[in-house]
Structure 1
Amino acid sequence: MTAIPSDFDPEAPEDFDSAHREYARLRRECPVAHTDGLGGFWALSRYEDVRRVASDWASFSTETQNVIPKVAFTGRRPPLHLDPPEHTPFRQALNPLLSQDKVRRLEADTRRFAREMLAPMVERGGGDICTDFSSFLPVRVFGLWMRMPPQWLDTLHDDGRAFVLAVHRNEPELMKATSLRLYDMARDLVRLRREAPEDPAIDPTSALLAAVHGGQSLPEDLLIGAVRQVLVVGIVAPMVLVGSMAVHLARDQELQAQLRADPALVPAAVEEFLRLYTPYRGFARTAVNDTVVGARAIKANDAIALLYCSANRDEAIFPDGDRFVLDRPNIAEHLAFGRGPHNCPGLHLGRMELCVALGELLAATPGGFTLDGPITLSRWPEIGPLTVPLRFG
């Protein structure tokens, strides 16, 4: 069989802007691109292709490979690793706990957490907004939502960050080791809720324990896998996106001052930042049958990356897609939270965290902030910074 030539290199060195330039090239020249890198996969860069494949779970499955690089070495983790209808009871258990009303009740604590974490940075005159702030804030908020024992949160932060870094460095053995530690935490949380059940209307683990499918409780391995999935999935994206927002605003002092002067603009700004700096490029699907996307023949079992970060800059949908436009008329069409049955169930929680994080950062820095050193970037499956040193004032 003739090898398919690579259209791009997913492992090429990147700076803050270079990946977006490369994806713009792919949209123009090769919107359905192939690469041998990271195990080999197809990459969809245009909005309509990404939206269609993300929505068509029957033709493009998430069960075989759901991220690039492939990291699920330690068991299936619902709901992301299952297609409908198998994933449905997991979503039915979790979705009500992530409603706007439930999230609204977490906002005051989230704001308190943010102020506590920013205070030492203000005292020092700056710091790394990712390492010192946005890597911790989602853990605190997620721990509150998961109703985890507070003494577990440092372990969740350390093990979750170690897993993420192992993925970014493409170190399979370290991925496995750190994932297994997170599985241990998931088993401990399930054991705790069996011994001391809580109200399924407010506790995610108890809701999963109470869920039924076909008249039966959820299988133990999938139940633990779901808790394991939930422990990490909501931690990485906010950390990266806060870093991207900080870089953008450090470069655009006029916009930074505008948002600081009028906090009512923050939610609209966050929505445009979600579009402009969508933190995911490696969510994947697997072709169920031989198919054609964008005039390219894709074989059954081929992995396909959904470049959400590229789709959300597609000029056919978002004119001046590389530019920040406050109150963009069609901003609701962005794909930052996915599409179809695997759209992000935590979209309300994510929006709230980001609005609080940005609002509190601006409020804590009346003299403004600037970049104060080199940025370290994430690798697949995310896109954006892991470290962003800032100077306040």
Structure 2
Amino acid sequence: MPTAEALSVPQDWDINTSALVTSNEPEKIYHEYDYLRTHCPVAHVDKHDGYWVLTRYNDVKEVASNNTKYISYKCAVVPADPRGIRRPPLKFDGEAHKPYRTAIDRTLKPARLKRLEPIIRAHCERELQVLFDRGHGDIYEEFGSKWTSWIEKEWLNLDAEDSKLLVESFSPFVLAWRTGNWGTVKKWSEAWYGIARRVVQTRKVAPLDPEGDPASSLLLERDAQGRPLDEEHIIGCIRQIVIIAMVAPTIVITAITKHLSEDKELQNKLRNDRSLLPAAIEEFIRLHVPYRGFSRTAVNEEEISGTKVAPEEPITVVYSAANRDPEQFPEPDKFILNRENISSHLGFGRGIHRCAGTSLARMIIRVYLETILDKCEDWDVSGEIVYAKLPEIGPTSCPITFRTA
């Protein structure tokens, strides 16, 4: 259980001016999650038009899993997109959600992932070598953002021009989001919509194997009435894939790199015994889940841990808090290899909106760890770390110095 010190906050503490609302520093946020979990597990925040924060594992799991009582259509992420855009599958529920998820899942079967792995590994080795040759570099901005963009290129089967655009745009987009440069954010967001539109138009004329191409798979799918999916929603789905599949893996990879720079014993243990990697990856995902702002809304008034929540009020399913609940995971802030109940972590969410790319994400992390452990004797953080704004949590800039063999 957390210590008394861990559960303390200043006497004048107010959630509306708290670290979890105003700060991006994970340790401060985790500290306040500990406090809320014990004293106010269902807390209301006034910012972003008002939303609820859940910090207990069981509450987060229930709200994320119960797709009848809690839906995503009204609000899927806090802060919500002010334009009110509803991109599937994240902001679709029930039968409307199903064909989009079916189409995406079709492209992530084990056989395709097996074919993609050596290609993804080659991109990883090439992009990491740039930093190794220099001896230093930002693992998020100069490696992760580029590598995950190349992975997107392979998954979506982009042509050379759009591949180059995607690789070049992600890092500027994240910097603009971090610094509040909304004109640049909009510019790159629209550029990604352009990529999605071009991909869909190309596949309409010359479809690819639907098991190996998301756009072709979506064009093949039908809704509950047997009709083709709306083209703008297909475009929106591709656009959704672009952002989620780049942001989350890059944060997790960066967090793991930082973690292993601080735990040399674990770094060397994993380097010397690769059979430990699957278990280590699950514990890394539990500790460094990159989301704190995914949300649901109740269809009717619901009572959660003794608090009544009105319908249509956003409820954040805070996976980063749930995964550090000591009632579920003893010594939650500690890395423990082979936790008995590690399979219960919520690092990939739960319910119908559980991450579609779970197997791909695990493979990405494994390939990254195998590559850096093979080619690098050690590494250390060598500069200021910058952390993500809501709805994410974790590092979005982390300078590293490498010592290669």
Aligning the two structures, in what range does the TM-score lie when normalised by the shorter sequence? over 0.9
Q: Is the counterpart of residue 276 in structure 1 residue 261 in structure 2?
A: no
Cα shift readout 1:241-280 (whole Å, capped 9, x = no counterpart): 1111111111111111111122222221111000011111
The answer to whether 1:256 aligns with 2:261 is: no
Aligned residue number for residue 32 of structure 2: 22
Match of 2:344 in 1: 333
Counterpart for residue 290 of structure 1: 301
Q: Percent identity?
A: 37
Q: How many residues align?
A: 389
Are 2:234 and 1:223 aligned? yes
| Aligned partner of residue 286 in structure 1, secondary structure | strand
Q: Which amino acid aligns with 2:321?
A: S
Structure 2 residues not aligned, in runs of 5+: 1-13
- Could you say which residue in structure 2 is the equivalent of 1:105? 115
Q: 1:313 aligns with which of 321, 324, 336?
A: 324
Deviations 1:79-111 (A, max 9, x none): 111001101011111112112332122111111
The yes-or-no answer on 1:203 pairing with 2:220 is: no
Deviation at 1:201, TM superposition (A): 2.3
For 1:316, give the aligned amino acid: E
Deviation string for 1:92-141 (max 9, x for gaps)? 11112112332122111111111111112111112111111111111111
* Structure 2 Cα separation of the partners of residues 5 and 57 of structure 1: 28
Could you say which residue in structure 2 is the equivalent of 1:142? 152
Hey, what's the Cα distance between the residues in 2 that align with 1:249 and 1:108?
Answer: 25
C-alpha displacement of 1:166? 4.6
Measured in 2, the distance between the counterparts of 1:266 and 1:254 equals 14
Q: TM-score under structure 1 normalisation? A: 0.94
Cα displacement (A) at 1:39: 2.9
- Tell me how far apart the structure 2 counterparts of residues 343 and 253 of structure 1 sit (CA, whole Å): 33
8 Å CA contact 1:287, 1:300 repeated in 2: yes
Distance in 2, matches of 1:350 and 1:301, equals 32
Show CA shifts across 1:277-301 (max 9, x none): 1111111112222221111121111
Q: Distance in 2 between the 1:169 and 1:242 partners?
A: 22
Counterpart of 1:37 in 2: which secondary structure? Answer: coil
Structure 1 pair 158–63 and aligned structure 2 pair: CA distance change class (3 A): farther
Q: Distance in 2 between matches of 1:328 and 1:348?
A: 20
Q: Is the Cα contact below 8 Å between 1:10 and 1:38 reproduced in 2?
A: no
What is residue 183 of structure 1 aligned with on the other side? 193
Quick one: which amino acid aligns to residue 309 of structure 1? S
2:275 counterpart letter in structure 1 = A
Q: Distance in 1 between matches of 2:393 and 2:291?
A: 6
Letter in 2 for 1:141: I
Establish whether residue 45 from structure 1 lines up as the match of residue 55 from structure 2: yes
Residue 374, structure 1, aligned to residue 395, structure 2: no
Contact 2:288 2:394 in 1 (8 A): yes
Q: Which of 348, 353, 358 is equivalent to 1:347?
A: 358
For 1:7-156, what aligned pairs fall within 5 Å after superposition? 8=18, 10-71=20-81, 73=83, 75-156=85-166
Distance between the aligned counterparts of 1:174 and 1:291, measured in 2? 40
Structure 1 Cα separation of the partners of residues 362 and 143 of structure 2: 17
The farther-off stretch of 47-56 and 71-80 is 71-80
Query: Counterparts of 2:156 and 2:234 in 1: how far apart (Å)?
Result: 15
How many Å apart are 1:207 and its aligned residue?
0.7
Deviation at 1:167, TM superposition (A): 4.4
CA–CA distance in structure 1, aligned partners of residues 180 and 44 of structure 2 = 19
1:269–1:144 distance in 2 versus 1, CA, 3 Å: same
> In structure 2, do the counterparts of structure 1 residues 45 and 158 end up closer, same or farther at CA, with 3 Å as the change threshold?
farther
Give per-residue Cα distances to partners, 1:146-188, cap 9 Å, x unaligned.
Answer: 1111331231234444444454455655544432222122111
| Contact 1:8–1:35, Cα closer than 8 Å, also in 2 | no
Contact 2:149 2:170 in 1 (8 A): no
- SS state of the match for residue 235, structure 1? helix
SS of residue paired to 1:317: coil
Deviation at 1:369, TM superposition (A): 0.7
CA distance 1:323–1:295, shift in 2 (3 Å): same
Change (3 A) 1:5 1:25: closer
- Aligned-residue CA RMSD (Å): 1.9
Q: Under a length normalisation based on structure 2, what TM-score does the superposition of the two structures give? A: 0.91
Gaps of 5+ in 1: none
Amino acid at match of 1:315: P
C-alpha separation in 1, matches of 2:33 and 2:353: 23
Q: 1:190–1:205: 8 Å Cα contact kept in structure 2?
A: yes
* CA deviation profile, 1:336-358 (whole Å, cap 9, x unmatched): 11111111110000010011112
Give 1:239 shift: 0.5
